[in-house]
């Protein structure tokens, strides 16, 4: 691997393929930008979008915005009744049962998509869990790693032929600034021997999301599929269900009257603002022929060293091609799959 440094960002050359520099495009958008702003003037007619978690919080906002732009939206949901109630006011949304902690359910959903003979233009991995007590899926994998990383990995693998058929598909993995909390512990990713820490487990899974997008883009870009990871912002949604009000308040999420604080300059966003960056990655012409990058505030984020005190940007361990390749190989082994 050859690493070259230009100004304040790195370009990684791997084999004959060059990844996109982790450097701002000066998109014209910012932390205040909303989902409606990024899709203004963009038609998604004829496009098929799949949004995991697309019936709650940010996912529901993405579903609504994509449908308003003309896309056919498919929402995999663990609770069909809850999803149907949440999306009742949105036309032309298809909802199918999927439990992301169940590999058989993921495979069944992918098979169903193949039987429908549709291509997939946009795949947004929005569903996830945060700072939950120690739990394991049916195969014994730590739940953050299983739901936040291995499930998107397996779902992408199952849908890959449909993504390739779109000839220009984009995959968006929702990461988080919480990736700063932990790199991947390749010796014990499942917390089999080390003490369990819910924030380290969450942080590791968010690092995994960024590395997944980096390696997916490297492997799949020549086949017409690009991938991006996204920090949506700090938004108070059901994702915080495992936190106490006191824990949430410690993040500055409440104003002086006890209401939800909206202050995009401090990364405290509304739901429409939080959905904007993923939708920008899914649709922006500025990102044509680009991919593998971590984005926030509707632009490519800066690369930061691990000890950099600034909150924005992606830390080097979440933008490391070698770690991305190692994670991909480990994920293939865990899922008994060969992808890309």
Specify burial of residue 111 (Cβ count, 10 A radius: 0-12, 13-18, 19+).
Answer: exposed
CA distance 335 to 194: 22
Characterize 63-93 residue by residue with b for buried, 16 or more Cβ atoms within 10 angstroms of its Cβ, and e for exposed.
Answer: bbbbbebebbbbbbbbeeeebeebbeebeeb
Helix (H) or strand (E) holding 213: helix 198-220
3-state SS class at 45? coil
Which of 305, 276, 268, 315 is CA-nearest to residue 62? Answer: 276
Q: Does 202 qualify as catalytic in the annotation?
A: yes
Cα 3 from Cα 22, distance rounded (Å): 13
- Beta carbons of 205 and 152 less than 8 angstroms apart: no
Burial class (CB in 10 A: 0-12, 13-18, 19+), 45: exposed
Write down the catalytic residue from 55, 196, 202, 294: 202
Residues marked active site are found at 202
């Amino acid at each position: 691997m050859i690493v070259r440094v230009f100004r304040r960002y790195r370009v990684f050359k791997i084999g004959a393929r060059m990844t996109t520099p982790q450097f701002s495009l000066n998109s014209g958008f910012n932390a205040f930008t909303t989902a409606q702003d990024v899709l203004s003037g963009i038609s998604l007619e004829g496009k098929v979008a799949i949004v995991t978690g697309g019936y709650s919080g940010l996912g529901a906002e993405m579903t609504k915005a994509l449908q308003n732009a003309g896309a056919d939206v498919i929402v995999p949901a663990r609770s069909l009744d809850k999803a149907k109630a949440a999306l009742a006011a949105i036309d032309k949304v298809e909802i199918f049962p999927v439990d992301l902690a169940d590999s058989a359910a993921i495979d069944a959903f992918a098979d169903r998509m193949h039987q429908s003979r549709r291509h997939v233009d946009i795949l947004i991995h929005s569903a996830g869990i945060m700072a939950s007590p120690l739990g394991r899926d049916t195969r014994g994998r730590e739940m953050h790693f299983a739901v936040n990383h291995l499930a998107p990995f397996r779902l992408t693998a199952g849908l890959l032929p449909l993504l390739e058929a779109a000839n220009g598909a984009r995959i968006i993995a929702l990461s988080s600034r919480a990736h700063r909390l932990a790199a991947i512990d390749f010796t014990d990713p499942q917390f089999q021997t080390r003490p369990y820490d819910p924030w380290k487990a969450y942080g590791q899974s968010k690092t995994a999301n960024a590395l997944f997008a980096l390696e997916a883009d490297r492997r799949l870009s020549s086949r017409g599929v690009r991938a991006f990871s996204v920090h949506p912002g700090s938004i108070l949604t059901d994702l915080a269900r495992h936190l106490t009000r006191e824990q949430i308040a410690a993040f500055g999420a409440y104003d002086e009257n006890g209401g939800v604080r909206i202050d995009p300059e401090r990364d405290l966003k509304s739901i429409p603002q939080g959905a904007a960056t993923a939708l920008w990655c899914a649709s922006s012409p500025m990102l044509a022929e680009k991919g593998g990058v971590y984005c926030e505030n509707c632009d490519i984020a800066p690369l930061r060293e691990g000890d950099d005190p600034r909150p924005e940007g992606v830390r080097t361990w979440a933008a490391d091609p070698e770690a991305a390749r190692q994670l991909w190989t480990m994920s293939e082994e865990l899922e008994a799959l060969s992808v890309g």
